Amino acid sequence: MTTTTSSSGSQPPQPSAEPQLIPKLPDDVSIDCLARVPSSHYRDLSLVSKTWHSAITSSTLLTARSRLRTTQTFLYLNLRIDNSVDWYTLVPNCQNPQKLIFPLPRNRVQPVGPALAVLGPKIYVIGGAFDGIPSNSMWVYDCRFNRWEEGPRMKVGREFAGAGVVDGKIYVLGGCVVDGTAQSMDWAEVFDPVTGLWTTVPSPVEVRLKRMHASVVMEGRVYAMAGRSGEVYDVGVVGKCGNVLIICRRQPAVVQGVLYCCNIFGKIAGYDVEEGVWKELKGVGKGLPTFVYGTTMVNFDGRLCVVWEKKGSGKEVEIKCADIEVWKDGDGMLAGRILWSGVILKVPNGAEIVHCMAAEF
């Protein structure tokens, strides 16, 4: 019996190679080209093709932007207006910020008292309560593409928890109640965005208070304040670690290794880690008010950004912002210079600042 073979002798079709990002250019060169494009254009560029979308969402592009020093820092503002939570972003490098602040899409779920963390180009909204019941949900806002997506759930529900990022992982502590107490074995958890998993961080029973009023990352550790006594916890080795945050009643910020917040006198003070003492920030008193309420801070591209509420005219509240350069003077005191200050947004009476944060990408 004879066997027939194809007269053409053709080989089976080979799978096509992955298309190049930019024709006739090596992909590493193309990535460097994309890295030089302002990140505000990435949403549109991701629609060019699947290959471009994959490149723009990759860690390779973020690494290239860091290497080429082309990253941009954006300020994100979280406000509670009436019964809704609204988000805004302030475009960097602009002379008139009021014209360049714009709203973000609302998340379809709006919990009360979530913990917030920024990791790379994403903002994580963790937990919070629905109708008074703490949730274990996590929602993620991708700053590059202006969209929300649901993330992996925690082991327990939380409201008013503390959160911070250390070594590329998100630590969350407190805010949980189990069997009527805060003594949950999962009082502290850590989220690894690479694996997408939450795991428990061991914690002594004596530190497991419920609500956290402030949290901050300093020297590679997450500190969070619970209760009126100003007790503070260090997630690296969970336990009491002194009264570092005792005067902080709103969100503090760490800039150049100094912890800044508003003190009980309504002035900006900084905690000098090396000396272990609080010092008032000099040089900004004439340009800033006495802060009474509604003040929050963030490290904005190596500077101290302060956002606060001010009663406006009629039925409006003004949201004001100050961009402050800070340093230590020759005597070791903290000094500052206001680079810019003004109104960035006007909102209805009753609105309040929940949080502000900065994302660099």
CA distance 186 to 42: 38
Asked if 58 and 113 sit in the same domain, the reply is no
Question: What is the enclosing helix (H) or strand (E) of 67?
Answer: helix 59-68
Asked if 118 and 229 sit in the same domain, the reply is yes
Asked if 144 and 228 sit in the same domain, the reply is yes
Asked if 155 and 54 sit in the same domain, the reply is no
- 134 lies in some domain: yes
Least confident of 23-27, 148-152, 171-175, 285-289: 285-289
Residue 14 has pLDDT above 80, yes or no: no
Asked if 236 and 131 sit in the same domain, the reply is yes
Q: Residues 231-274: pLDDT tens digits?
A: 566 666 666 655 566 566 678 999 999 999 888 788 899 988 88
* Helix, coil or strand: residue 92: coil
* Helix, coil or strand: residue 314: coil
pLDDT of residue 6: 46
DSSP character string of 188-214: EEEEETTTTEEEEEP--GGG--S-EEE
Asked if 59 and 112 sit in the same domain, the reply is no
Asked if 109 and 213 sit in the same domain, the reply is yes
Q: How far apart are the first and last CA of the chain?
A: 68
- 123 lies in some domain: yes
Nearest to 81 by CA among 356, 354, 350: 350
Q: What is the pTM of this model?
A: 0.86
Q: Residues 154-163: pLDDT tens digits?
A: 999 999 999 9
- 34 lies in some domain: yes
- 92 lies in some domain: no
Residue 288 has pLDDT above 80, yes or no: yes
Asked if 113 and 234 sit in the same domain, the reply is yes
Model confidence at 1, in pLDDT bands (50, 70, 90)? Answer: very low
Residue ranges making up the domain that contains 145 = 105-245
Number of domains forming the structure of the chain:
2
User: Interhelix angle for 27-35 vs 59-68, to 10°?
Assistant: 60
Mean pLDDT of 198-221: 81
Asked if 122 and 238 sit in the same domain, the reply is yes
Of 245, 277, 298, the residue at which a domain comes to its end is 245
- 355 lies in some domain: no
- 52 lies in some domain: yes
- 210 lies in some domain: yes
**Most confident among 105-114, 148-157, 229-238, 280-289 (mean pLDDT):** 148-157
pLDDT of residue 44: 87
- 173 lies in some domain: yes
Q: Residues 69-97: pLDDT tens digits?
A: 988 899 999 999 888 899 999 876 555 54
